[in-house]
Structure 1
């Protein structure tokens, strides 16, 4: 039994894909990002997918031929794989030409995970934050959504068939219960593990189930045409919910969770109550929306690699560049739709044997090619400058001194660290640089216990300062803890180190510490930052001299970063607390700061200190450290 074509659903697809593309273009109008909630277009896609897939399953299940899992999986493969494999195939040579070894390693690993229908696992494990600047350089980050849908396609038909076999009369109730459980899981997990909640199926399942639930409701309880009031109002209300979400919900709003109900419910209402005589349905069914909706899959597949390679070529693209990317995306997507998508979806044109005869060898070729890229990229990495040594340092600390690093245990709450009764408890506060400070001080004073309060970008901020800027949930969470009196119980001193926090933020935190009886405070200055990973300079040059020269040519020179030492020194003087400038201790002049200690670089990425450099700093700074309160505790 063939389902009736609903053009307004293609119109919804158009809204979804355009929202995602505009979000990824990162266009700014009047100082505000255009469609800052555009990432929610993915959630609209999820609802549509859930509705259509379930409608197909149900219509076939109740037909005379019955439902065939083999045919179902074949249709999904025809829908998804040819276009996806084409994008990967054409991206491989571009990546080989453009990407540096560290980038190529990420690229190859992401391709392999995409081919295994598990790229969402890869991005979660690698802790790639979707909204981060680095995400703009990951050509296949967007495939996490395909992985979620592919996993849903594999498992959901089995779940639905089981429900039909044993609990058919309770189908709606069971699907609703599963939806609510998944939604509650998302709401619970998002504040604690946003990466898992964002990328993984268990916390996204409810969005697909919203469409599935609607398909079941409409199948067993068809909407009557005479429901005029609902037909006239609900699509308008649904469109409002979607548009409101795209305009006003930002990435750090607790999504996915209860806030995601807005675009999900909006999509459900439009699909549920759409009818040919209603205004929203007429607009969405119009040729412009339907035309975009038909090529929406190709648009989604192609736009992100094109944008990512564009960002790699030019790290500061202008508006003209972005519109050029958009034009290329549009042309390539239309071509791919007519030359790849449509032919492969047509069983009469391309039979099953031919389809498998093309897809299987192509998948093997892509896998082998990605493995070759991964091997070549990994072999070119310099052993001493990758993240492995850093991760080892931050987990074990080589047994040199006693450290509690809560983030390694999955929490930002340093109050969960056990305090020592026999040692002095030193709280080390900062962003991702805080562990470097702990290493420097701990090597000099191993007799103390160190408790670290940090996460990436998590500089100290008051509630008022948090409200003035876009903030990740983790930033709000950790600073609510830092600015609580209970956070200072049993603490004998505080060490502060950030990359370049605004001075007023550190000022507020030091003021809080002093007001609550903490007099032992030490602030570190920063050191150097370079534009690319240190490993990439190794890949470009053959000698240490050439590498050092290239690194020096790419020092980060933003005024706020360069003047950070002066700002922190003035702040320390204001509150009569200790300040140590790393630069003044190791640099003979502004242009003569050590990049190498013997044959080891100062950083394992762009600015975080290597183990060797941290140990070197501990020795260089030891006398100055002994003259602070640390030496007299």
Structure 2
């Protein structure tokens, strides 16, 4: 395909917002959509190569994968090795094991599947996984594997219908994305079937020959197309947020915008701006910028307590410096100087490199994982970050039965017959909410005593708010509880608990107003203290010398939310218990429970030990307020 400088410039427009978004720079809440621009560009270029090769009968699988290997693998190997080496000497063993698993998945072109499977409430914060960004590489790599087979078959059998096949692929993938985004959001975000339409949209330009077909359009129309495309991309950057369903229809903004800019041609006004040498240069190093930026951001957050401003300058300096060095020392030598070697040798050497890197990741991550040489006390604390594997977890939560996934229909449904069982001999209370209600259920039951039957109605990510805009298993459960079950049963009291956010306050007030019509005994539990990292890991690092790390990692916005909630709930004449005040008396937050175990097992979910400490004081308040006898 003919080289277009503006397409490299479009890469710059894609990568810079992604980096800014990941750094936490304000004003660009949809910066993550830069990845979608990359998908459209890749689809345009890759499908163009495959289609032209198929039409002229010159396509070679070995030559195709040789070029992909020389382009993708050398910089990736260096970034993976650097990330693993730093992690081996600084991360806790469990963290390094997780890193090695993600490295292995990256080398097997399946990190998107890995992160889809391991992203969840109790899997650790995704933003602290150094190789999380490789999910998008996996999507493209899987496309590189599937698309040559599909497109060559179409060209050889149905060449005259190739454009229609591409349109059918786009429509099917987009429709799937739209249909499942609210029920399977992580599946929709990470996996190829719901992302293929973005790559195919770019491919449509090449396969349908749209550039040639639109060549007769006036330059004014092409200018308008490119400006419209830029406007759509900017809407994605400035209007979209992680709270909106994505990709689905919301990904149309960056994807259609990129499609229009590429289609408008290199002489259109936006393309001319994108063809400026500084912009093109950023686009030329965009792959290396993307590879380096995320591990640098993650490790800087975890290990370097830099002042605001200094931290951003350090991240930008390191990312840019390493990207430029990678371009000249790794990418160019491998991509261009080895281009003369036979395809078979390059592909074979690449496979050998992948196997060796994967074997090293597996060996050091699991068979010889003595990363960091931490003290026994630190390792004891850190083991609580794997709390889901401990017996206390099942006892505390009752997962898969009374605590279920509130968004996916594939997981076990909430067991209404078992979990919503009332007692004829004890007073019946119900706790409704998400995981931040579930982590308190067992401890509150124990603290309240045998005369109280505390019924557990909890679902992950499920805010106990009445008549929510989305419709999924979570909202079905909440609506059933408020609209059918509570009015039909004699319930002595209702506890409402969740991981509250500021935007939940107004709908919570409306929920309480509605709930008071069916129950005259309600109490609200406030938000739990949260940390920027898993508390057991923070305690372990602090034990081995990083002073005041726990206090420095507290999310102070929780206190602001707690104060606002107390005031809002008071206007509804409903009692309120501040969990924050229990854990942080006089704003001094406890990291350890009374038995010496970590209070939380991740960013904010309480361990059973922590929940018992909180429940003991919460039940005292409930008795003082005459909520329970």
User: If the length of structure 2 is used for normalisation, what is the TM-score?
Assistant: 0.81
Give the match for residue 469 of structure 1: none
Count of matched residue positions in the alignment of Structure 1 and Structure 2: 608
1:452 is paired with a residue of what secondary structure? strand
Q: Which digits, 9 at most, give the CA deviation of each residue in 1:473-495, with x for residues without a partner?
A: 99996999599745754462321
Instruction: Map 1:112-511; keep pairs closer than 5 Å.
Output: 112-127=104-119, 134-218=125-209, 222-223=212-213, 225-228=215-218, 230-276=221-267, 278-314=268-304, 317-346=307-336, 347-348=338-339, 351-352=342-343, 355=346, 359-360=350-351, 362-375=353-366, 376=369, 381-382=379-380, 385-389=384-388, 404-407=402-405, 410=408, 417-418=416-417, 420=420, 423=423, 426-443=429-446, 444=449, 448=453, 450-456=455-461, 458=463, 481=479, 485=483, 488-490=486-488, 492=491, 493-498=493-498, 508=509, 511=512
Distance apart, 1:611 and its partner CA: 2.9
1:93 maps onto 2:91 in alignment: no
CA contact (8 A) 2:105 2:111 kept: yes
Larger displacement relative to structure 2 (198-207 or 454-463): 454-463
1:222 is paired with a residue of what secondary structure? helix
Give the match for residue 536 of structure 1: 537
CA contact (8 A) 1:179 1:206 kept: yes
Distance apart, 1:104 and its partner CA: 2.8
2:209 is paired with a residue of what secondary structure? helix
Distance apart, 1:529 and its partner CA: 5.6
Give the match for residue 37 of structure 1: 30
2:405 is paired with a residue of what secondary structure? helix
- 1:9 pairs with 4, 7, 10, which one? 7
Q: Distance in 2 between matches of 1:6 and 1:620?
A: 67
1:433 is paired with a residue of what secondary structure? helix
2:431 is paired with a residue of what secondary structure? strand
Q: Distance in 2 between matches of 1:552 and 1:344?
A: 45
Q: Distance in 1 between matches of 2:326 and 2:235?
A: 32
Distance apart, 1:234 and its partner CA: 1.8
2:334 is paired with a residue of what secondary structure? helix
Instruction: Map 1:50-61; keep pairs closer than 5 Å.
Output: 50-61=43-54
Distance apart, 1:43 and its partner CA: 0.8
Distance apart, 1:196 and its partner CA: 1.3
Change (3 A) 1:568 1:147: closer
Q: Distance in 1 between matches of 2:478 and 2:248?
A: 21
Q: Distance in 1 between matches of 2:463 and 2:263?
A: 43
Q: Which digits, 9 at most, give the CA deviation of each residue in 1:383-412, with x for residues without a partner?
A: 86134447865656587x996334268369
Distance apart, 1:151 and its partner CA: 0.7
Structure 1: runs of 5+ lacking an equivalent: 28-32, 467-471
CA contact (8 A) 1:513 1:519 kept: no
Distance apart, 1:39 and its partner CA: 1.2
Q: Distance in 2 between matches of 1:570 and 1:430?
A: 20
CA contact (8 A) 1:20 1:38 kept: yes
CA contact (8 A) 1:393 1:611 kept: yes
CA contact (8 A) 1:461 1:479 kept: no
Distance apart, 1:120 and its partner CA: 0.8
CA contact (8 A) 1:102 1:536 kept: no
CA contact (8 A) 1:414 1:451 kept: no
1:308 is paired with a residue of what secondary structure? helix
Larger displacement relative to structure 2 (83-92 or 322-331): 322-331
CA contact (8 A) 1:495 1:523 kept: yes
Change (3 A) 1:579 1:98: same
Q: Which digits, 9 at most, give the CA deviation of each residue in 1:281-328, with x for residues without a partner?
A: 322222222222221111111122222222223456523431332132
Distance apart, 1:501 and its partner CA: 5.6
1:94 is paired with a residue of what secondary structure? helix
CA contact (8 A) 1:426 1:450 kept: yes
1:331 is paired with a residue of what secondary structure? helix
Larger displacement relative to structure 2 (365-374 or 593-602): 593-602
Q: Distance in 2 between matches of 1:329 and 1:474?
A: 41
